[in-house]
Structure 1
Amino acid sequence: MRLIPLLLFLIITSCKNDIKTGNKIDKTVYEIWNDFTKSNPKFKKDELPDSYFFHTNEAAANRLAELIVNGKKKAGSNLYFWYEEAKADLPKVGTKSIITNFDGKARAIIEIKKVDTIPFNQISKEYAELDMGTTMNALEKWKKAHWDFFKNAMEETGKEPTEEMLIVCETFETIWAKKQDK
């Protein structure tokens, strides 16, 4: 039963592709990193960052990747509970990641600028706008979408979401993007 939260955490933390796990990494992940390091030689010796997509379904993952490419989505949210259960470190400022679409095709490189742990009921309108990529009813949309998402994910653990549950709030910047070929 203790494996379920760990498995959920691994899925929810955006389906990361990693050489160590044996998952195949799409060639576009290497290409975007090579393009980035050619233009930014100071990162040439850095390891290839983790690559992943946001969310758990194709439509949402592709929509969120597009928001990131266009610089509209600038934050991501996870449950602190998942980090505790997995005994995983919280995200660190300066960490770069390659964001993909649902099929693993690289779309952008992001860099974490800020990490906060905030109770669900204290999420600000400003943070919700960064996470949702919109200013229209962002806090309402954020609360509804994340409550539903966390509730569904927590069902497997027998836990219920609460207004006080801690949310790991990552604010990031899109530092490199690959526009879709038309």
Structure 2
Amino acid sequence: MQQLSNEQRIAQLIARFNEQSGRAVTELPSWHFCDNEQDANDCALLVLNGVKQATTPSLYWFKANNETLPEVGDLAIFTNWQGQPLGIIETVSVTITAFNQINADYAALEGEGDKSLEYWQHVHWDYYQRELAGTGYQCHPEMPLVCEQFRLVFKESE
């Protein structure tokens, strides 16, 4: 039996989503969370289990990569590190918040680690340093973050 490519899996996921939702989506962006395999796969599982409901790249990353900001209603496919599609999320809220203004409730929405603000600050500070390396931007307590809250609208069936 021939293995499907990730592109074929994505096309099938979109077709099943359209069938279930009555939509006529033809293409969606696909990406994985985080910048390493362990965290990417862990975060994807947290989304599938309904624990992770937010993600928070820096605004600087969007500027450095000439990417458009997410908007309410956006749909996206999230994958594991290997690019296999796992589900579709819909953006429900986008705000720009300084790193030092993130609160415990928001940190809990991210769903990672023990869900505490302290954990969030520690792992995200390290992440932003890696994310911004070589961009000309520097981490600082007031750096603007793109706080995207989402909901899981479709799960890949295995």
**TM-score normalized by structure 1?**
0.78
Q: For 2:83 and 2:14, locate their aligned partners in 1 and report how far apart those are by CA, in whole Å.
A: 14
1:169 and 2:147 correspond: yes
Query: In the alignment, which of 68, 93, 101 is matched to residue 89 of structure 1?
Result: 68
Q: For 1:47 and 1:141, locate their aligned partners in 2 and report how far apart those are by CA, in whole Å.
A: 38
Q: Which amino acid aligns with 2:13?
A: I
1:36 and 2:17 correspond: yes
Contact 1:51 / 1:97 at 8 angstroms: preserved in 2? yes
Larger mean CA deviation between 120-129 and 145-154 belongs to: 145-154
Contact 1:69 / 1:178 at 8 angstroms: preserved in 2? no
The residue aligned with 1:6 is: none
Q: How big is each residue's C-alpha offset from its partner over 1:8-55, in whole Å with a ceiling of 9 and x where there is no partner?
A: xxxxxxxxxxxxxxxx743221121111111111x12x2321111111
Q: For 2:115 and 2:6, locate their aligned partners in 1 and report how far apart those are by CA, in whole Å.
A: 37
Secondary structure of the residue aligned to 1:26 is helix
The residue aligned with 1:103 is: 82
Name the structure with the higher helix share.
1
Using a 3 Å threshold, how does the CA distance of structure 1 residues 73 and 95 change in structure 2: closer, same or farther? same
Gaps of 5+ in 2: none
The residue aligned with 2:123 is: 145
Q: Report 1:1-182 matches (<5 A).
A: 25-41=6-22, 43-44=23-24, 46-133=25-112, 136-178=114-156, 181=158
Q: For 1:104 and 1:33, locate their aligned partners in 2 and report how far apart those are by CA, in whole Å.
A: 15
Give, in angstroms, the shift of residue 90 of structure 1: 1.3
Q: Which amino acid aligns with 1:107?
A: L
Using a 3 Å threshold, how does the CA distance of structure 1 residues 156 and 85 change in structure 2: closer, same or farther? closer
The residue aligned with 1:4 is: none
Q: For 1:137 and 1:106, locate their aligned partners in 2 and report how far apart those are by CA, in whole Å.
A: 25
Contact 2:98 / 2:145 at 8 angstroms: preserved in 1? yes
Gaps of 5+ in 1: 1-23
Larger mean CA deviation between 46-55 and 150-159 belongs to: 150-159
Give, in angstroms, the shift of residue 89 of structure 1: 2.5
How many residue pairs were aligned?
Answer: 154
For the aligned residues, what is the CA RMSD?
1.8
Using a 3 Å threshold, how does the CA distance of structure 1 residues 95 and 147 change in structure 2: closer, same or farther? same
Q: Which amino acid aligns with 2:130?
A: N
